Amino acid sequence: MFNDQEDRLNPRDMRQAIKDLGNSKVIVHKLILSPEVTPEDKKSYTRDVMKNLSRHKGSDLDWFAVEHNNTDHHHIHVVVLGKDRNGTEVSLNLRDIDQAKEFSDRYIEKHYPREFEKARDDREQKERERLEARKQEQREHIREGLELPWMKKNIIREQLEPYKKWKEKPQAERDKSETEREKQDRPYFNDTIEAAGREWSKANSLEELRTLDEHLWDNYEDRIPKEKYLKLSGWIRDKERAKARADKPRGKDRDSEDRPEKTSFEYNGKTYTSQDSHKKLTGLAEELRD
């Protein structure tokens, strides 16, 4: 891996930087830089694009990148941390992505003008051919009655086929699918994951789950699938919220301690208290409902 300052970085450096983020709305943003013309110096290209993107955002973006040269079209994966080097939250939207593409094109056009011109002509030609093929296919579908300009038959077919296929299944298969659905709805204490050589569930304490989370971060070989880690994170989050509610002081706040308790109220010139007759209070209730 590399960044704007170092040519050779260990992935552990990136993982440590992510852990050091602390409380961040976004952990990382992931970008793929895939220029139409592959630059000879991909690190210089990436640094130029990210430098211009940082200037465009008004931030000192903190990022890590890695080259992928094992495909027909080489590309670069970039991981942008959720906070810049000044500790400011970083947000990237589609406009920023379009801006990064523009910075990429500027670099390629400057250093490889002929290749860039040819790649652009090829792209436009392919787009014209794709649109023409799509129009021809649509004309054939309309002629064969498979597609109408104002309605597509496949819309209706997609609505009906799932039920039809379900109905055609043997009763045993339908019962099996119902059983699997019941398993998904089983109580949380029966919902478990395997990690670090043992079984875990929401019944474990918050401290135990946090310890497991730290262990998974520090021991790459013990990592678990994403869906299981999301489940673990959800357990920790729920327990943290429950603990925060339990730790919250109950009773009256300081301001209310000095306020006398209100024992009556006025409405339409009349005073009402808890000592009033049932008839008087129910009459008020009916009046308020009306």
Largest CA distance in the chain: 94
Give the global pTM: 0.46
Same domain, 164 and 225: no
pLDDT of residue 92: 92
List of residues 6+ apart from 200 with CB closer than 8 A:
192, 193, 194, 208, 209, 212, 232
Residues of the chain by 3-state class (helix, strand, coil), percent to 5 = 55, 15, 30
The pLDDT tens digits for 16-60 are 999 988 888 899 999 999 898 888 899 999 999 999 999 999 999
Question: What average pLDDT score do residues 231-251 get?
Answer: 84
Structure tokens that stand for 245 in this block: 């509610």
Alpha helix segments (H runs only) across 88-152? 94-111, 113-144
Q: What rounded mean pLDDT belongs to the chain?
A: 83
The pLDDT tens digits for 155-190 are 555 555 566 666 666 766 766 665 565 555 444 445
Res. 268: pLDDT tops 60: yes
> Is residue 254 in a domain?
no
The pLDDT tens digits for 97-146 are 999 999 999 999 999 999 888 988 888 899 999 999 988 988 887 777 66
Question: What average pLDDT score do residues 189-194 get?
Answer: 75
Q: Is 118 left (phi over 0), alpha (psi -120 to 50) or beta?
A: alpha
> Is residue 132 in a domain?
no
- For residues 173 and 241, the model is more confident at 241
> Is residue 167 in a domain?
yes
For the chain, what is the domain count? 3
Domain span at residue 69 reads 11-111
b/e per residue 26-36 (b: at least 16 CB within 10 A):
eebbebebebb
Phi and psi at 77, nearest 5°, equal -95, 130
